[in-house]
Amino acid sequence: MNTAKINALVRFFAMAAEKEKLPANSDDPDTILKNLSKLDTFKARVEYAEKNLKHMSSGSSRVIYELNKDTVLKLAKNERGIAQNKVEANPKMKSKYIVETLKADRNGLWKTSPMCEKITEKEFEKMVGFNFKDFGEVLSYEMNKDVDDGKKPKIKDYDKIAKSEIVKELKRLGKEFDLLSGDMIRISSWGRKGNQIKILDTGLTEDIFNEFYDKETGKPKSSKST
């Protein structure tokens, strides 16, 4: 038997063994979380979550599920997702503008947060008082102006936006935790809980970007996802 066939058989039996390890389906959120922490691979955890939870969305690092009607689960699907979960689960990262972490796996495999409503750019403007695109340009400049080329965006309300509570708070968080503005300037990263606007993704730090993303393209490098 040649090497290719041997390797194929090894992969087949490994997958079969992994499937046998999958816990039984469950409706209990706590049981689901415990089972996810027990599984050995990213693939097995995602497969288990797909069978037991409602799939909401998926990115390059994590899969989002509805754990129950009030709670969202972020499940890492590679090492990059683990790193981002650990950042977001940092108990010191607190702000009224950041959706809180309710529970988290100690190894960063998953984390849970309160369910928030998604919002549009128009809804953001209504809640905050200025255009989302302008907000993004101002925030990006304010968080990076130490290394910027000095070309401040030509926005009519620049000073008003820069001095707003939300920009000053996100700038503070960025400086304290080495956060990058990439996720913060996408409307898909924002939601609301009641009347409070919330940012849903704060896992992108400078260290994570340098380790997991290509500096030239900004795209994710290949990451272990088995």
Instruction: Decide: pTM greater than 0.75.
Output: yes
Fold of 3-116: Phosphorylase Kinase; domain 1 (3.30.200)
Domain with CATH 3.30.200.20 in the chain: 3-116
Distance CA 89, CA 73 (A): 12
Distance CA 179, CA 126 (A): 26
Give the ranges where 101-187 is alpha helix by DSSP (H): 121-128, 132-144, 158-162, 165-177
Distance CA 225, CA 98 (A): 28
**Span 108-136, mean pLDDT?**
97
Residue 4's pLDDT band, with cuts at 50, 70 and 90, is low
Please report the pLDDT score of residue 219 as a whole number. Answer: 81
Q: What is the pLDDT of residues 76-94, one digit of tens each?
A: 999 999 999 999 999 999 9
Please report the pLDDT score of residue 222 as a whole number. Answer: 73
Least confident window among 9-23, 43-57, 122-136, 164-178: 9-23
**Residue 211 reports pLDDT greater than 70:** yes
Please report the pLDDT score of residue 20 as a whole number. Answer: 46
Q: What is the pLDDT of residues 100-121, one digit of tens each?
A: 999 999 999 999 999 999 999 9
Q: Tokens 């928030």 belong to which residue?
A: 116
